[in-house]
A and B are shown apart, each in its own frame.
Chain A
Amino acid sequence: MALHFLLSSVFIFFAISVSPTLSSNSEVNALHALRARLTDHTNVLQSWDPTLVNPCTWFHVTCDSNNRVIRLDLGNSNISGTLGPELGGLQHLQYLELYMNKFEGKIPKELGNLKNLVSMDLYDNNFEGEIPKSFATLKSLKFLRLNNNRLTGSIPRELSALSNLKILDVSNNDLCGTVPIDGPFGSFPIESFENNSRLNGPELQGLVSYDFGC
């Protein structure tokens, strides 16, 4: 009987060591949460030590002079796993380079929060699901390369609001519907959309529903 009581006391206070201690740096926490989702076959994330005060000495992370993350360079790094909402917390991020890996799952809509993003390269992965409509708020975006994935759904017409968009490549996916023609879409070459078997060419405003064939 006394032993039982003792054992239960142990259980009560076990809680204290179980709770994880978060860093006071939110960017450390965001990247640490990202790392937890990934399988890092060649240990490129080994330097990502969450006990450090900021992630600025981590490899493949670049910070500005205020120790805020501006670049994430993980292209060609033999990484698999999924992305989560935490990346949306890197408010100063300019370059998100995740190309040529084995990422899968959906592209998180939270990436639309990255107001300073200039380049998003997710090409050559296994991403599925739709292109988030939230990307319409990526006002600084110049380069958006989502080609060579398994994305479905239509190209959000909202993307025509991105006046800085220079390059959009969604080729080699499984997109459907029609291609927007407004804004920057007027200058994208046809190769940007090729190899989407259910993509039906430029939208015919008023004549056919923009997501025709979806």
Chain B
Amino acid sequence: MTCSNFFSLSLSFSLLSFLLVALLLPISPVSTSTTSAAEQAKALLKWKAGFIHNQTHSDLLPSWTLTTNASSHSYPCNWFGIVCNQIGSVSHIQLGDVGLQGTLTSFNFTSFPDLVHIVLVNFTLFGTIPCQISSLSKLRFLSLFYNQLHGEIPSEISVLTSLRVLSLGANHHSGSIPLGIAKLRHLTVLDLADNNLSGSIPTSLGDLCNLTNLHLFSNALSGPIPLEIGNLKNLTELSVFNNSLTGSIPSTLGNLTKLTLLHLYSNKLSGPIPLEIGNLKKLTELSVQRNSLTGSIPSTLGNLTKLTVLLLYSNKLSGSIPLEIGNLTNLTKLSMNNNFLTGSIPSTFWNLTNLTKLSVFYNQFSGSIPQEIENLKNLSSLQIAWNNFSGNLPQQLCDGGSLVNFSANGNSFTGPIPKGLRNCTSLFRVRLENNQLDGNISEAFGVYPYLNYMDLSNNKLCGEISPNWGQCPNLTSLRMSMNEITGCIPLELGNSSQLQRLDLSSNHLIGEIPKELGKMKALSSLNLSHNHLSGRLPLEIGNLSNLDDLDLSANDLTGSIPEQLGDCFKMTYLDLGKNKFNGSIPEQMGDLNSLQRLMDLSHNQLNGEIPSEIGQLQVLENLNISHNMLSGSIPSSLEKMLSLTSIDVSYNGLEGPIPKNKAFKDAPKEAFTHNKALCGNAKEFAYTMSVTEKCDVYSFGVIIMETLMGRHPGELLSSFSLSSFLSLPSSSVEQPTMLKDVLDERISPPTAEVVQIIVFIVKLSFTCLKVDPQSRPTMEHVSHELSSLKSFFV
């Protein structure tokens, strides 16, 4: 063998092996790119490097590392949340809340051509969806639900034609729904709900003929529901609620015969409910509430026999309820409140025995509610308020004992309280006010363990208040005002420690206010006005530290106002008027410094002086103490009540100057009339009472004495010494003894010369302070007299 021969032999051999290798290589079924597992692992790690830890915990994806115990070519397929296909390329990425935040921007989409499944739900993804996502041509399942993604949904999504499920719900995406979504012909689930998407629903969505679930709810979509949606023959769920969609409900929706859920509520839809909706025989929920739908309820709805929920409320529907609604025997919830519906409830309604909730309030229904309502044994919520219903309430109501919420207020119901309510222990909230019920309530009600709210006001009910009410442990509001109730207030009511509001006003109640009411620690509003209650106001009233408003007016209460009332420091409204309270106004009333809306003590027999502590009521706006027997002068402290808007002190025995306060100045003469000797600068005094000037003189006299004494002359004005003083001869040297007692001790005693001047001035001031305004000098005279003093000073 020669060298050249050997050389050519080795060449051909290497050529052959080279060819062999070259042929073998492409056999492995790898993608068009040359990404290996190692490169995909690197790309994932690069993506992970961009994450931020949510908590200060250690690494929460510990498996995502290149240094593992396992053999080196099992990553990344053995990593948490990563699944590979048969050839070791990543096909599934599935991560939920792993305590991290990240974006998709650092994710190298082109390294993962075999991805079929991406689920990153509640991962906390931020940022936008990059358009590079379009490289995932095999992607079938994409769920980025419940993250913080924002920005527009990229139109490149339309390239992912393998997609079966697209869920971008519960993010912050904005902009319009990309028109290209219509190209995703294999799509079965499209969820873009709970974002900030705007613009119209593309008509091309009607091309997605494989769609079973379409969720576009809770966005800012506008424009109409495209009639092309009616082409989506496979649709089982259509939810577009909580948007700003306008126009009519397309009648083509009647073609969606597989539909089970139809939610169109909380939009701006108008026009009628199409009768074609009656074709949707599989429908279990139909909710169109909170729109502006008009016209009648189509009778074809009666064909939807699988319906469990029918919500038509808060629209502008008119006409009467079709009889056919009675065919919907699977209904549990039926709400048509807040419409303009008329007529009576069809008798077929009482076939709806599965009904738990029936709401027809705020309509114009008439007629009565028949006994047949007792067929609805599962009824827990019956809301028929504010209609024109009449007749008696059905006596067997709540016979099954399941009624929880019952409001029939604002109708013309007559007759007694239904017997069935006595043992209706499930009751929570009952409103029967504003009707013409005229039964006897003494035995009509039982003890209710859950009852929270009861209002029987403004009816013609008679009988007596049952002590049972005190045994209802959950009762917070009990109102029976404006009825014909008689008898006494049961002391057992005092056991009701949860009661916050008690209104028994405008009835014929007699007897005393039980002191046990002082145990009702939660009471914030107590109205017993306009009854015939007698006896004293128990001092236990002071225990009601949560009392905000107290109205006991127009009764026959006697005795004095208990000083303990001053302990009710939260009180903002107090009306004790039109009673027979006597004694004086307790000074403790001045402690009620939250008193704002009203203090009314008028039309009583209160005597004595107005306590100066009343001036502490700084936020009081309305004060009425008229029609009493109050005496003395109005304390000057009332000047400080700057919030006063209206006052009434008329029909008392008050005298002296009125406070220099805007409320007093602006008050009409009726506010002061029929007193003893009030004077001052009130607006209308100027026109009607000629003693205005004399009042100024009186005030001047007070000022002189105040200056000399260093304090308000108060006691001196009403004391005996004043009148005896005036009876003394005009100038007496004995006077300095008297003066020494009253002059301001902070100034050194006057010299003999000054004493003469002071005596002169004091005498002058006493003439100003004469009780009878007519015997006071004029201001001109006083001024003249004072000017004559000049001769003393040379």
Interface residues in chain A, defined as those with a beta carbon under 8 Å from any beta carbon in chain B: 1, 4-5, 8, 11-12, 14-16, 18-19, 24, 46-47, 53, 57, 59-60, 73, 75-76, 97, 99-100, 119, 121, 142-143, 145, 166-167, 189
Contacts and interface: CB of A to CB of B under 8 A. Distances in A.
Given A47-B500, A143-B643, A14 B619 contact: no
B38 interface: no
Interface stretch (B138-146, B244-252, B709-717): B138-146
B119 A11 contact: yes
A167 B643 contact: yes
Contacts of A46: 476
Contacts of A100: 594
Contact of A59 (B96, B476, B572, B594): B476
Nearest to A75: B594
A11 B145 contact: yes
B83 interface: yes
B165 A12 contact: yes
B218 A19 contact: yes
A119 B167 CA distance: 50
A73 B239 contact: no
Interface in B88-126: 92, 94, 96, 117, 119, 121-122
Contacts of B760: none
Contacts of A14: 145-146
Interface string B594-635: 101000000000000000000000010000000000000000
27 contacts: A4-B119, A5-B117, A8-B143, A11-B146, A12-B143, A12-B145, A12-B167, A15-B145, A15-B170, A15-B191, A15-B215, A16-B193, A18-B146, A18-B170, A18-B194, A19-B218, A24-B338, A47-B476, A47-B500, A57-B453, A59-B500, A59-B524, A75-B594, A100-B594, A166-B642, A166-B643, A167-B643
B569 interface: yes
Most central of A8, A24, A167 by chain B CB within 10 Å: A8
A142 B621 CA distance: 11
B260 interface: no
Contacts, number: 96
A50 B60 CA distance: 40
A49 to B, nearest CB: 9
B234 interface: no
B189 interface: yes
Given A12-B169, A24-B290, A167-B642, A76 B191 contact: no
A15 B477 contact: no
A8 B146 contact: no
Nearest to B193: A15
Contacts of A73: 548, 572
A12 B189 CA distance: 9
Contacts of A99: 594
A21 B612 CA distance: 54
A19 B194 CA distance: 8
B501 A59 contact: yes
B314 interface: yes
Contacts of B167: 11-12
In the complex, the 10 A-B pairs of residues with the closest C-beta atoms, listed nearest first: A11-B121, A8-B119, A12-B167, A15-B169, A76-B570, A15-B170, A8-B143, A24-B314, A59-B500, A4-B94
Interface in B261-302: 290
B239 A16 contact: yes
Contacts of A75: 570, 572, 594
Contacts of A57: 453, 477
Contacts of A166: 642-643, 662
A136 B594 CA distance: 26
Contacts of A53: 337, 361-362
A5 B117 CA distance: 9
For the side of the interface on B, what is the size category?
35 or more
A58 B228 CA distance: 46
B242 interface: yes
B476 to A, nearest CB: 6
A170 B314 CA distance: 45
B524 A1 contact: no
A57 B476 CA distance: 11
B672 interface: no
A109 to B, nearest CB: 25
B239 A8 contact: no
A121 B477 CA distance: 27
A100 B569 CA distance: 12
Given A57-B477, A167-B642, 6 more contacts: A4-B92, A16-B215, A19-B193, A24-B314, A47-B476, A142-B645
Given A12-B191, A75-B572, A19 B146 contact: no
Contacts of A15: 145-146, 169-170, 191, 193-194, 215
Contacts of B215: 15-16
B170 A143 contact: no
B413 interface: no
Contacts of B365: none
Contacts of B500: 47, 59
A11 B143 contact: yes
B217 interface: yes
Contact of A19 (B141, B217, B314, B337): B217
Contact of A8 (B83, B94, B169, B594): B94
Contacts of B642: 166-167, 189
Contacts of B141: 5, 8
Contact of B121 (A8, A18, A60, A119): A8
Nearest to B92: A4
A119 B597 CA distance: 11
Interface string B568-594: 011010000000000000000000001
Contacts of B572: 73, 75, 97
Nearest to A118: B621
Interface in B285-323: 290, 314
Contacts of A119: 596
Contacts of A76: 569-570, 594
B619 A121 contact: yes
Contacts of A8: 94, 119, 121, 141, 143, 165
A166 B218 CA distance: 46
Contacts of B570: 75-76
A12 B337 CA distance: 32
Contacts of A11: 96, 119, 121-122, 143, 145-146, 167
A5 B96 CA distance: 13
Contacts of B217: 16, 19
Contacts of B569: 76
Contacts of B218: 19
Interface string B493-535: 0000000110000000000000000000000110000000000
B619 A143 contact: yes
A8 B118 CA distance: 10
